[in-house]
Amino acid sequence: MKKKYETIFQSFTFPSGVDVKNRIMIAPMTHFSSQENGEVSEQELAYYKERSGGVGAFITACGYVNIDGKGFPGQFSIADDNTIPGLKKLAEAIQSNGTKAILQIYHGGRQSPPELLPAKQSISASGIAAEQVGAAVPREMTEIEINNTINAFGEATRRAIEAGFDGVEIHGANSYLLQQFFSPHSNRRMDEWGGSLEKRMKFPLAVVDSVKNAVAEYAKTPFIVGYRISPEEGSNPGISLNDTLQFVEKLADQALDYLHVSVNHFWNGSFREKSGSQSRIIKIHEKVGSRVPVVGVGSLHTPDEVVEALETGVPLIALGRELLMEPNWIEKIQADEEEQIRTTLSKKDQQELVIPDPLWQRLINVKGWLPVVD
């Protein structure tokens, strides 16, 4: 391994006390490959195992905590105890050779396609459709549903602990339910769950409490709790970077292990504030990084680009597409073979890359997701 890459391979200890062997996490990526009933499939297990061992931690695709929060076909469930045996196999597949397994827990809210839901009706903070062509109008959640969903995140955390995961990541990003409560576009409530910025924070903070309480009650060893956040929204009204900077101050008070900032490019500044050219990840790190570790992500492809990002002081980097195309990304750097890291996806490589059929079809057929070559 070249000396300039040593930063990537430094170990890191989360506030909870969990150690990871290097600074690379695999970002959560939807793979559409679970069984119809929400159980983990054999193809998924092989896919996860192939990419584990080298990286410090692997964040799974999002699993739904309630059946009314399912967001994708082929998504796995964390909604009842029957899922625990499959989740246990998933944790064990990831943990081979020392990679930590982090289960991403989620509710789709108004982003859940009605046809995937038992009641054929999505729910959200308010009855406001997303600004997308053909978006369904959700039903506003009742007080009972809000409290049941908060409890469901805690129960999902208990199942993750019982299945042997090393942690959970609360999915508060990408326009899903937790973000919908924080957003002035999707949350028009005037009760205790909406209105002011502080009240729009209440639901995601209650979910964090539920998760932390489950950890305190059920975890017998240190357990990671992370939170994923999108710093801005394009909708009008929408979440501004200033809103998020106030929110992360609150999140930094919650004794979390990390904040994972979901953006397309690590170095991009605000798209809402034209004068805001500084990287949003770096801005959040400067705001709260001394109190909660920040995970950076976004269009960092090469080891040199990752080192440059780590040199900003952001302690951890999540890679997605890079590990999808090159499961041995870490190992090739260690072996001084970084020139052999795949940077394109060949249509002939499905078996070698151990990619499940449903995910493979999307990778090959959806233009712009990955650089696909014949």
- Determine how many CB atoms are found less than 10 A away from the CB of residue 15: 15
Chain segment 61-120, per-residue pLDDT in tens: 999 999 999 999 999 999 999 999 999 999 999 998 899 999 999 999 999 999 999 999
**pLDDT above 70 coverage of the chain, percent:** 100
167 Cβ contact list (under 8 Å, min separation 6)? 16, 18, 57, 100, 101, 102, 103, 160, 223, 224, 225, 226, 257
**pLDDT above 90 coverage of the chain, percent:** 95
- Residue 279 has a pLDDT of 97
> Pairing relation of β-strands 316-319 and 24-26?
parallel
Q: Residue 281: pLDDT band by 50, 70, 90 thresholds?
A: very high
Domain count, the chain: 1
What average pLDDT score do residues 44-72 get? Answer: 97
- pTM exceeding the 0.85 threshold for the entire prediction: yes
Chain segment 120-132, per-residue pLDDT in tens: 999 999 999 999 9
Q: Residue 298: pLDDT band by 50, 70, 90 thresholds?
A: very high
Range of the domain at 221: 3-373
- What rounded mean pLDDT belongs to the chain? 96
Residue 62 structure tokens: 């999002």
> Pairing relation of β-strands 224-229 and 345-346?
unpaired
51 Cβ contact list (under 8 Å, min separation 6)? 26, 58, 323, 327
- Residue 367 has a pLDDT of 85
CATH number of the domain enclosing 365:
3.20.20.70
Q: Is the confidence at residue 263, as pLDDT, over 90?
A: yes
Q: Is 5 a catalytic residue?
A: no
- End-to-end Cα distance, the chain: 31
Rounded to whole angstroms, the Cα distance separating 247 from 250 reads: 5
Chain segment 178-187, per-residue pLDDT in tens: 999 999 999 9
- Residue 343 has a pLDDT of 92
176, 218, 227, 258: the active-site residue: 176
Query: Do 333 and 323 form a contact (C-beta atoms < 8 A)?
Result: no
Residues in the chain: 374
Q: Is the confidence at residue 237, as pLDDT, over 80?
A: yes
Among 83-87, 308-312, 346-350, where is mean pLDDT lowest? 346-350
- Residue 340 has a pLDDT of 96
- Determine how many CB atoms are found less than 10 A away from the CB of residue 336: 11
- Residue 173 has a pLDDT of 98
Q: Residue 247: pLDDT band by 50, 70, 90 thresholds?
A: very high
Q: Residue 273: pLDDT band by 50, 70, 90 thresholds?
A: confident
Q: Is the confidence at residue 34, as pLDDT, over 80?
A: yes
What average pLDDT score do residues 206-232 get? Answer: 98
